[in-house]
Structure 1
Amino acid sequence: MPSPRAAALAVGLLAAAPLSFAADLVIATVNNGHMIEMQKHTKEFEKANPDINVKWVTLEEGVLRQRVTTDIATKGGQFDVMTIGLYEAPIWAKKGWLKEIATTPAYDVDDLLPSIRSGLSNGGKLYAAPFYAESSMTMYRTDLVKAKGLTMPPNPTWAQMADIVSKIHDPAKGVYGLCLRGKPGWGDNMALLTTMVNTHGGQWFDMSWKPQIDTKPWHDAINLYVDLMKKYGPPGASANSFNENLALFNEGKCGVWIDATIAASFVSDPKQSKVADKVAFVQAPTAVTPKGANWLWSWNLAIPVSSKKPEAAQKFIAWATSKDYVNLVAKEAGWHAVPTGTRKSTYANPEFQKVAKFAVEEQKAMGTANANDSTLPKSPYTGVQYAAIPEFQAIGIAVGQQMSAALSGKVTVDQALKTSQTAAEREMTKGGYYKK
């Protein structure tokens, strides 16, 4: 039996214990550049909040989606803060899986870009806070285009793009004419391919929810994609997504890259890119319609209802998506490195305008993308490069695998589209949307 002094000491230690240990706040995030940058500044948040210890779980995009979807659907409670997309936020909010984001006057919720704020709200309440948002646009090498006596139009068509990439393609010198996503996934290759389908006059589903994959617009778009990538793309393109193409472009191996506007800050940064002084930006290519030619997306921080540290989670989100955070990154890493696409104040800042030569085109793309009107024929769904229904994940993954197989030559485009149509019809029938 312990002595009274030892017992008193033990009680004292137990009482003091909670004060000496910070609460672990577990955050699941994607391995994109801006998220990596956020992790570098975590110490600033922890300094201001000594009772919170941030623990990061950083995952590739596809793996992140699987992990957080499983966790939130099963109320696993593995994560306190999740990085989720514009697709998941409204669906999960409606299901009651997310906590409402608490905002203060200092946070200035009205400073958020309307299209993004609207997409993250349900019933007028915000359920995820945008960390950065993006559309898509064309990034290209001015030196290569100029050397061939060509001019890149401000609003190129896919026909004009095909002509340009064919002439600047020079694999003998390690330069490929065109870099596009090939890695399968509804948020990987299908993000790009859906915009190509949209601008060719296609859609995912008609007004009776019948899948429209085995149709002329899809055939036109996918045949063009496969043809261009086989002729003018890098080898092994079916394994490339955002990060792989970013690395290729920064190494000077891509003549043209059509992808997320967020990439502009990386390819124009001389610390990261060997061709930073030779890059320019125009809008994403169009075909028969400009509708849906450039996508709309945001990565957002949200709190699952199963979070064990909701108050700490609210504090972190308020910090990471604030004007102050933008200013912190600008001070530490420069204005070219700040997360964009979320706040009006960022674009209005003269310091940002001075260094971000991509700002005008990015803002134009963000303003053009319309999740409620992204297809030439009327569609029953919202979303530019996705359809905001729970069944879309499974359909997008299945179709993405077929498109990747077509790119690598394992199946023909006709076979890939036919198989995709069948898979989509099966899912939509199962979900009760469509009856044959």
Structure 2
Amino acid sequence: MASQTSTVPRDGADPDILPRPDFAELVRVSARIGCLSFGGPAGQIALMHRELVEQRRWIDESQYLSALNLCHLLPGPEAQQLAIWIGWKLHGVRGGLAAGLLFVLPGALVILALSVLYAHAARLDWFAALFLGIKAAVLAIVLQALQRVAGRALNTGFKRAIALAAFVALTLFALPFPMVVLGAGAIGMAAAAFRPGLLALAAASAPAPTSRRPWGETIRAVIIGLTAWLAPLAAVLVLLGPDHVLSRIGLFFARLAVVTFGGAYAVLAYMAQQAVTGFGWLSAGEMADGLGLAETTPGPLIMVTQFVGFLAAFRTPAPFTPLLAGILGAALTTWVTFAPCFLWIFALAPWMERLEQAQRLKGGLAAITAAVVGVIANLTLWFALHVLFTRTVPVRLAGMQATLPDPASLDWRAALLAMLAAGLIFVARRNIIAVLALSALGGLALGSVG
């Protein structure tokens, strides 16, 4: 049956019946979206809305918003999960697989190519100068993310208190990121049950659904999804042993995948600290470089994990060649990071109507979103210390610990470029790609200046 994508119905057609594309057309449009999905989750969600709701009318507005609400409840990149849900809604599991994979693959291939280039050219003077500007721009971009998330999330005093507590817990007490996020979720669920006004939660607007509970679909999705997700990691553990770098990469990013609430910026600080100081896979400056590369490519920002996995394996390649080890590290990282998104959607999409009525779940998400503001503030501070200064000093006092910069180690070039990037973002309102490009040119211009 041929697909219909016109917003004008044919004579005698019911205008309320949405056109349903055939599978081939879904694949073509999903590939187009995957190649054009720049601008982070906000831009990606807006792109899908324009392409699929406004222009082609494959999904109606209420369905789209309901699915987006569900994706906000789940760990992982919400834009990719929304793409998976749309494919599932239109063509079942094969539609979800096609839409989700095509949303990620273009960016994954670009990041892999850039990672290979980075690994071979990072020691060249011009390349270092280029990334001097990119790192400075990343600092301004993270600051913009902090402003946006705070403006949207912190609409009550209780939420502002949660954000502050999260920042203090991470910055002064070095509590683990998963503990902070899950603790905030538990507080939010309790508040939703007893004092929902603290979180500005609206009452459920629709009666609870009366249809049967889709346990069979969910159980099948969980069994198949878990097997597919963990099988490559199990193979690596058996063949190479738990101490091999690929095993460590797989285990770390698999754990990270289940606590990535609140978007990529929420977990970047935790990932960066573990990758830099915990495992020693790369330096703080290289972590900022990777984020800059991820900002310039289509697909989810959390694709920066692939850059980390590539460098980690590239630098400890045995028994493989460095390039092959890097590619295996990138592939494994990408798989364990993004495969759970399919599991969540296929298992929970049939429950959407019931999840929308789950007030405690909404409270947990609201509190996690508030805590994410504190997490991103911690990330901003972490990047500022490592981008603007070449030396830092650890300080311990009364059970607290903090990292302070050595003022004498200030890199005036990075500070100047960061101010330039901030001006382009907050004053000139330039987009991220333009800011990164101009900052990179500024880095090239200042790279030879001591």
Question: TM class, shorter-chain normalised?
Answer: under 0.3
Give the alignment's TM-score, normalised by structure 1: 0.27
Give the alignment's TM-score, normalised by structure 2: 0.26
Relative contact order, higher structure (CA 8 A, sep 6+): 2
Name the structure where strand makes up a greater proportion of residues. Answer: 1
